[in-house]
Amino acid sequence: MKRALISVTDKTGIVEFARSLSELGYEIISTGGTLNEISKNGIAVTPIDKITNFPEILDGRVKTLHPMVHGGLLYKRDNPRHVETASKHGISPIDIVVVNLYDFEGSLKLNKAHEEMIENIDIGGPSMIRSAAKNYKDVLVVVEPNDYDKITDMLKNEKITLELREELAMKAYSATAYYDAMISRYFMSKTGKESDSVTLGFKKVEELRYGENPHQAAKLYNDNFVNSYFSNYNQLNGKNLSFNNLNDLNTAVELCAEFDSSKGDFAAVALKHATPCGVALGNTPFEAFKKAYDADKLSIFGGIVAMNSIVDADTAALMSEIFLEVVAAPSYTEDALEILKKKKNLRILEIDVKLKKSEFDIKYLSGKVLIQDTDNIKDEKFECVTLKKTTKEEDKDLIFAMKVCKYVKSNAVVIAKDLATRAIGGGQTSRIWALDTAINNYSDKNFSGCVLASDAFFPFSDCVELAAEIGITSIIQPGGSVKDQMSIDECNKSGVSMIFTGTRHFKH
C-alpha cells in the first residue's frame, strides 16, 4: 500500500484531499490537529507514533524527526543499496508528503510575544518538505492547498510526470526559503544586527497586465514582513492597479505621509511618473487639494492624487473635473464616493498613510543588489549661514519645500510659497539646469517672495544668482561644497537668507 503523510497548519481543503487519497488506496499518516481533523471526518488515519514507535515529545517539538519518517522519504527506490538498507531497518516508503508550516507569518502580523514567536518556528515541517523535495523523483511533495485538486486528478488518471514532480519540488523549496527568510528577518529586527547573507522573502499577489511598457511582463509581490500603508490598502473602485500606478502610488503616499493631518497639516500630493507635480498643505482637505491642483494644472492630467485626510464632497467634485488614474486617501464621505465612482475606471483607494513605511530601499542591478536605509530623517539640523535671517513664515515654507524635494528625482529643486509648490525641477544632470527647468516649465508663475529647496549642495553660486533674479527670498540646501562660501557671499550680496541642513536627499 502506498502511503501519504499529512501535517498541515492551514487545513483548507485537507479533508477532501485526504479522502481522495484514501479512496485511491493510500494509507494516511498524520499528526496532532491534522490527525484529529481527518479522523473526525470518518477517514482512516494512522498516528505518526505508530510509524516511529516513539511518542511525540517536548510539547510536540519532536514527532516526525525520526529515521522511520525521513528514511521513508529519502531512500531512492531505484538504488539497490538504499532498498536493502530500508528493508533491513523495516523502513517503508512514504510516497506523498502534504505539509504546510506553523503560522509564523500570522504571529508576526499579530506582533505576538517573543516566546510565542519562537514556538511558531516549525522544525519538523521544513525538514519533511526538504527531504521529500530532495527525493522528488520518488516522492510527491505538496505545500500549496490550491494544488490539491490538480494532484488528485493527475493521480486518478495516472498522469504524474517528472515535470510535475520538479514543479512541486520548486514550490517546496520556495516555501521553506520564504519561511526561513521571515524568521531570519525577525531575528535581524530583534537584535539590530545582520549577517553577510541576507534573504528577503516575497509572496506573489497578482499577475499585472504588463510592466512599465506593454512588452514587459510584470507581477506584484508582497513583503509580508512589512506592515506598511502600502501593503494594507483597500480598492473601492476602478480597474486593477497597473505597474506604473503602483510605482507612482508608492511615492505619492510616502510624500503625503510626511505631513500629519492630526496636527492640522492637511496634505495633497499630485504626482505623475513618480515625480510630484503639485504638493500643498491647507487648513482643510479641500484647500490642500485646490492648492496642489493650482500648482500645476497641466501635469496632473492622468496622474495620481494622494491625501492624508478624508476626501469630502467638495474635494471630490473638483477631482472629478480632472482625468485622474488613482485617488488615494484614508477615507471618503459617502457623497464623495458617489461623485468619484461615476468615473468607473478611476481607481479609488482607501489607505492609511499613518502606517509606517519600509525601513529599507532596494535597487536590483544586473546580478547585484543595493540595499539602503530609507531616507527618513525627520529632524534635520538647520543653520542659517547668511547675514539675513529667515522669518517664521519662510521657515515653514523651507521645511515644506525640502520635504517635497526628497521625493523629486535628482538633481532636484522645489520652489514654494504659502505651503504650496510653485515650481518643481528634477531629473537633471546639472543643478542649474534643474532650476532653469523649474522656472521655464512654470513661466506663468510669479516667484517673488518664494523659497527654494535643493536636494544637494550648490557647487557654484549660479543657482543663488538665478534665484535672486526671480525674487526668491530664502534658500534651503544641505551645504558641504568646497565652494559654499561663494553661495553664501552671493546670498549676502542679494539679500537672500540661506539655511544649511547638513543632510543630502538624492533620489535616483
Based on the fold, state whether residues 35 and 109 are members of the same structural domain.
Answer: yes
In a domain, 231, yes or no: no
Based on the fold, state whether residues 340 and 478 are members of the same structural domain.
Answer: no
Most confident residue range from 43-47, 180-184, 336-340: 336-340
The grid coordinates listed for 106 are 500570522
pLDDT interval class at 379 (50, 70, 90): low
Across 47-62, average pLDDT: 82
In a domain, 111, yes or no: yes
In a domain, 427, yes or no: yes
In a domain, 196, yes or no: no
Helix, strand, coil % over all residues of the chain, rounded to 5 = 40, 20, 40
Based on the fold, state whether residues 21 and 156 are members of the same structural domain.
Answer: yes
Read off the pLDDT of residues 166-218 as tens digits, 9 standing for 90 and up.
999 999 999 999 999 999 989 988 898 888 888 888 989 899 999 999 999 99
Q: What pLDDT sits at residue 285?
A: 95
- Rounded Cα–Cα distance for residues 472 and 302 (Å): 31
Query: What is the average pLDDT value for the chain, to the nearest integer?
Result: 91
The grid coordinates listed for 99 are 505539509
Q: What pLDDT sits at residue 66?
A: 87
114 noted as active-site residue? no
Based on the fold, state whether residues 488 and 438 are members of the same structural domain.
Answer: yes
Q: Cell match 481533523: residue? A: 37
Based on the fold, state whether residues 45 and 107 are members of the same structural domain.
Answer: yes
Percent of the chain with pLDDT over 70: 99
Q: Higher confidence at residue 195 or residue 468?
A: 468
Based on the fold, state whether residues 129 and 273 are members of the same structural domain.
Answer: no
Q: Are 496 and 393 in contact (CB under 8 A)?
A: no
Model confidence, pTM: 0.84
Across 67-79, average pLDDT: 88
- Of the candidates 489, 495, 399, 493, which has an alpha carbon nearest to the alpha carbon of residue 453? 399
Q: How many C-alpha atoms does 354 have within 13 Å on its Cβ side?
A: 10
Based on the fold, state whether residues 330 and 448 are members of the same structural domain.
Answer: no
For residues 372-394, one letter each, b for 16 or more C-beta atoms within 10 angstroms of the residue's C-beta and e for the rest, the string is: eeeeeeeebeeeebbeeebeeeb
Across 217-245, average pLDDT: 88
Q: Are 300 and 271 in contact (CB under 8 A)?
A: no
CATH number for 272 = 3.40.140.20
Q: Higher confidence at residue 396 or residue 65?
A: 396
In a domain, 226, yes or no: no
pLDDT interval class at 362 (50, 70, 90): confident
pLDDT interval class at 371 (50, 70, 90): confident
Could you tell me the end-to-end alpha-carbon distance of the chain, in angstroms, rounded to an integer?
A: 61
376: alpha, beta or left, given left = phi > 0 and alpha = psi -120 to 50? Answer: alpha
273, 341, 343, 388: the catalytic one is 273
Given the DSSP bridges, would you call strands 497-500 and 474-477 parallel, antiparallel or unpaired? parallel
User: Of 137, 169, 191, which residue is a domain's last?
Assistant: 191
User: Of 171, 191, 211, which residue is a domain's last?
Assistant: 191
Across 323-351, average pLDDT: 96
User: Rounded to 10 degrees, what is the CA torsion of 10, 12, 16, 22?
Assistant: -10
Across 361-368, average pLDDT: 88
- Rounded Cα–Cα distance for residues 451 and 449 (Å): 7
Based on the fold, state whether residues 345 and 280 are members of the same structural domain.
Answer: yes
134, 171, 343, 396: the catalytic one is 134
- Rounded Cα–Cα distance for residues 276 and 404 (Å): 8
List the beta bridge partners of residue 363. 370
Across 257-274, average pLDDT: 92
134 noted as active-site residue? yes
In a domain, 180, yes or no: yes
Based on the fold, state whether residues 43 and 91 are members of the same structural domain.
Answer: yes
Q: Alpha carbon 502 to chain centroid distance?
A: 29
Domain encompassing residue 446: 380-500
- Rounded Cα–Cα distance for residues 371 and 483 (Å): 31
Based on the fold, state whether residues 418 and 481 are members of the same structural domain.
Answer: yes
Q: What pLDDT sits at residue 192?
A: 85
Based on the fold, state whether residues 17 and 97 are members of the same structural domain.
Answer: yes
Q: What pLDDT sits at residue 37?
A: 93
Count of domains for the chain: 3
pLDDT interval class at 453 (50, 70, 90): very high
Among 233-247, 352-366, 409-423, 439-453, which stretch is predicted with the lowest mean pLDDT? 352-366
In a domain, 365, yes or no: no
pLDDT at 378 over 70: no
CATH number for 62 = 3.40.50.1380
- Of the candidates 392, 454, 467, 452, which has an alpha carbon nearest to the alpha carbon of residue 428? 454
User: Of 304, 330, 350, which residue is a domain's last?
Assistant: 350
Across 88-96, average pLDDT: 91
Based on the fold, state whether residues 243 and 170 are members of the same structural domain.
Answer: no
Q: Are 299 and 279 in contact (CB under 8 A)?
A: no
Q: Alpha carbon 235 to chain centroid distance?
A: 16
In a domain, 301, yes or no: yes
Across 424-428, average pLDDT: 92
